[in-house]
Chains A and B, each alone.
Chain A
């Protein structure tokens, strides 16, 4: 299978700070998704980003497929951004997602 590594494993920020989360993967992939897992356990779709850059409000993501990594940027962080951020990849158009172990983000007021 594909190895997905996320860094850092833990991140503690003051409200208003910016942060960058990284996802490295070991093989070529067809697609990549970023999720936010809220305190109730729900995985919320943030980005579907096999390549290129996308922005959604204070969040943006960039995937460089040829170099096998993706970055998630969070600007002006808020306490509601707290939770675990997962990166997951698809190797083909069918079949499973491979998940990283996540980045636990804590934002303090």
Chain B
């Protein structure tokens, strides 16, 4: 696609509900990242994929957070048993490292509100 696409744009979940957020990266981009952005803060790293391999998940805040990218393209970030502190904007980015060029491009984000 022309850009990184995320869906849904907005999600309201009741506390305890499971949610799934989707990211469709730029075609041909092998690297995919998930970030969490709380209100008034900069994006915080969650996890990173190189093709289908999850190379870094050090930023996932708890075992309720799970991400996958089974075919090396579309990725899903799943949050189980959502809590109020999970309310944030979830951003997905992709890049196609070419030599030293690692420019990342972001999607519009999914705003999750847990009530």
Q: A residues within 8 Å of B by Cβ? A: 30-31, 33, 35, 40-43, 45, 48, 50, 86, 88, 90, 93-102
Stretch at the interface among B12-20, B64-72, B74-82, B97-105: B97-105
Which of B41, B56, B103, B108 is packed against the most chain A CB atoms within 10 Å?
Answer: B103
Q: Which 10 pairs, one residue from A and one from B, show the smallest C-beta to C-beta distance?
A: A99-B42, A43-B106, A48-B103, A96-B45, A41-B109, A101-B42, A42-B108, A99-B43, A90-B102, A31-B102
Q: In the complex the two chains form, what is the Cα distance from A86 to B105 in whole Å?
A: 13
Whether the pair A41, B89 counts as a contact (CB closer than 8 A) is yes
Q: B residues within 8 Å of A by Cβ? A: 31, 33, 35, 37, 41-45, 48, 50, 55-56, 59, 89, 91, 93, 97, 99-106, 108-109, 111
A-B contact count (CB 8 A): 65
Task: Give the residues in chain A near B104, CB-CB below 8 Å.
Answer: 33, 88, 97
Task: Give the residues in chain B near A101, CB-CB below 8 Å.
Answer: 41-42
Task: Give the residues in chain B near A86, CB-CB below 8 Å.
Answer: 42-43
From B48, B103, B105, B109, A95 is in contact (CB under 8 Å) with: B48
Could you list 9 examples of A-B contacts with CB < 8 Å? Answer: A30-B102, A43-B106, A50-B100, A93-B97, A95-B56, A96-B48, A99-B42, A99-B43, A101-B41
Contact status of A43 and B31, CB under 8 A, knowing A33-B104, A93-B102, A97-B45: no
Task: Give the residues in chain A near B44, CB-CB below 8 Å.
Answer: 99
Contact status of A97 and B33, CB under 8 A, knowing A43-B91, A102-B42: yes
Q: How far is the CB of B20 from chain A (nearest CB, A)?
A: 20
Task: Give the residues in chain B near A35, CB-CB below 8 Å.
Answer: 106
Contact status of A94 and B55, CB under 8 A, knowing A48-B101, A86-B42, A102-B42: yes
From B59, B97, B103, B106, A42 is in contact (CB under 8 Å) with: B106
Closest-by-CB residue of B relative to A50 is: B100
Q: How far is the CB of A34 from chain B (nearest CB, A)?
A: 11
Q: In the complex the two chains form, what is the Cα distance from A101 to B44 in whole Å?
A: 10
